[in-house]
A and B are shown apart, each in its own frame.
Chain A
Amino acid sequence: MRGLSSGAFMWMLTLLLSAAALCYLFWSGQLAFYVHPRIRGALAVATALIALLGGVSLWDLRQRAGFRVSWVHALFLMPLILALCCPPQMLSPEVISQKGLMGVLRGHINTCASLHGPAPVFAPEQTIIISEENFLAMMEALWEEPDQYVGREVEMLGFYYEDPTLGPDDFVLARLVMTCCAADAEVAGLLCRYPGRGQLVPGQWVLVRGRLAQMPYYNVAHHTVNNMPYIEVTSLSPSPKPAQEYIYP
């Protein structure tokens, strides 16, 4: 430390550690918990630039003697300290519940066909399996024409989401849709009817099998009464988290 500027040294350390943390997120695949994969390119360039900015500090560490550690350094280190305390994972149920059901009950989140391909066609005797790949397309198809799917067997993996506005046997089998970053993630999914829902914990991943049905609801978007799809659950089993917890449009 002697002869060096503590502020300049700490700023260099912060930049280099931030670049290293970003490299780790890239390497471990945990970056997907924070941002949409399409931002990876821009972030890779940013990581290289941050490392470079840290590196060039070596040339003028001794010229900035009066530059001392301040609250600004603490601010820049805050993300690193918080990330070390709370390792990356999907948003907690407490925070998801603050976002509310806005994206679920009107299917708004998933009515943009240009963001996904057409819904897959399942043969009449075939179970409809809603996966990460077809999630957005299936949500749109189910919300657009719920009567086409009434009585069909369905299987879907999602996390348990409850809301005080739902009935005592109802819950949402949900996924989080990330448009850009975790802060804009919205809850999307299907309403499920299951008398034993009380045993479930918010955020718990479950594999649901059941039959598709429809029920009328007041569509606040169009001020009309429409039918919405839901699952009459026949079996439900706790399941490990999927490899990709978010849905990326």
Chain B
Amino acid sequence: MREERVVLAQPVDWAFWLLLALLLGAPIVGRPWLEGVSWSGYLQGFTMMFISILLEAVPFVLLGALLSSMIHIYLQEDVVARMLPRSHWLGLASAALFGFLFPVCECAIVPITRGLVRKGVPVGMATAFLLAVPIVNPIVLTSTYYAFGGAWGVVLLRGVCGFLVAVFVGHYSGRLYQRYNPLRTVGFYEVQDCDCGHVHAHGPVAGGAGHTLSQALLGLLQHTRDEFFEVGRFLILGAALSAGLQTLVPRQWLLSLGQHSLLSILAMMALAYFLSLCSEADAFIARTFVGQFSSGSILAFLVLGPMLDLKGTLLLSGAFEGRFVRQLAMTVTLAVLGVGLLANAFHL
């Protein structure tokens, strides 16, 4: 009874009613008003691209949230510890090649990686896994094969460079974070007694051992729902920024840089970062730049995009500390830049 009185004493949630009014007012007031304004074409284009990026990514983000919740609820730390290879380099390499068994794209990989680090997977291995799986997997390599009209060389270069960059950055991150966990401590699951009101699951609690099947399923779904609430916000922000840039910035601006060895690579890396394309689709876009841009810059686009883009950075910053995300972004950028410059130097 006391608990109910506390709840009743809460102030009226104006934000709730404001959002409801916006939702109801959009088709009644918003639509007719927007049809008359001069920038309606830009808003329409932005909306279409924004929602399309979300729709393309949401199945994979949900899959990531579901798998991450399964890891969180069912996977025990000691099992993880037993499964890890003893050798440092073997661990990095096997993590980077895991995409062949577990082909998920860059939207799903962040929550899964967070779940793995929480269960004690070393940061270096988790980083190699995070960076390589969205590139070194059969789905992405097949789409690259089709996009480049059966050019095995491009497929091989993309796969090998993706693998090497992931192992290199994984090794570097592993050294930096040997005894320190870079997961965000003010995150959703890490605060024990927060007042956010969520039902937190710590370890095998919700739906774990000792529960009936329906309780286990309910616990898993509730956890997935909360994980989606946590991860989805970064997906939406990333999609909005990417769609906004594509709406406002003409792509032609980048074209003048196409043949310069260094500038072309930087331009294509910037494009890969801001477009935030799904790694299944990016090869088809990269192909339209062949010839106009140096080969190293095309390779840099293909390697960087799935590892680091605007949407992914926001997803990462929701899971990991800012310092880790900055260091990761910097190392990946430098490594991919090096790959691009080498490819240009050897006229690959």
Contacts and interface: CB of A to CB of B under 8 A. Distances in A.
A and B assemble together: yes
Interface stretch (B124-132, B196-204, B323-331): B196-204
B4 A3 contact: yes
Interface in B17-52: 19, 22-23, 26-27, 30-31, 34, 40-52
Contacts of A39: 55-56, 59
A23 B142 CA distance: 31
B284 interface: yes
Interface residues of B, number: 84
Interface stretch (A46-54, A120-128, A129-137, A141-149): A46-54
A214 B30 CA distance: 48
A100 B225 contact: no
B210 interface: no
**Which of A92, A96, A100 is the most central at the interface, judged by chain B CB atoms within 10 Å of its CB?**
A92
A91 B47 CA distance: 9
A72 interface: yes
Nearest to A80: B23
Q: Which of B16, B42, B277 has the most CB of A within 10 A?
A: B16
Interface in B188-216: 195-199
Contacts of B60: 42
Contacts of B15: 6, 68-70, 73-74
A183 B243 contact: yes
A38 to B, nearest CB: 10
B280 A180 contact: yes
At the interface, is chain A mostly helix, strand, loop or mixed? helix
Interface in B46-83: 46-56, 58-60, 62, 66
Contact of B225 (A15, A73, A87): A15
A180 B19 contact: no
A79 B50 CA distance: 8
Interface string B308-327: 00000000000000000000
Nearest to A12: B225
Interface string A16-57: 010000100000000101110001001101100110111011
Interface residues of A, number: 91
Contacts of B48: 33-34, 86, 88-92, 95, 182
Contact of B291 (A49, A109, A179, A222): A222
B186 interface: no
Given A91-B45, A93-B41, A112-B146, A100 B252 contact: yes
Nearest to A34: B52
A140 to B, nearest CB: 10
Contacts of B242: 183
Interface string A94-118: 1111111011001011011111000
Contacts of A63: 197, 199
Nearest to B11: A68
B42 A95 contact: yes
Given A49-B66, A82-B51, A184-B285, A64 B199 contact: yes
Contacts of B198: 64, 67
B146 A115 contact: yes
A98 B197 contact: no
Interface in B247-294: 247-252, 255, 275, 277-278, 280-281, 284-285, 287-292
A8 B198 CA distance: 8
Contacts of B30: 81, 84-85
Contact of A220 (B8, B23, B26, B292): B292
A65 B51 contact: no
A98 B247 contact: yes
Contact of A181 (B44, B55, B249): B55
> Taking each of A102, A103, A115, which has the highest tally of chain B beta carbons within 10 Å of its own beta carbon?
A102
Nearest to A45: B59
Contacts of A111: 149
Instruction: Report the 3 A-B pairs with minimum CB-CB distance, sorted nearest first.
Output: A95-B45, A221-B291, A67-B197
16 contacts: A34-B48, A53-B224, A77-B19, A77-B22, A79-B51, A81-B22, A81-B30, A82-B50, A84-B31, A85-B34, A88-B48, A91-B48, A93-B41, A95-B44, A98-B251, A181-B49
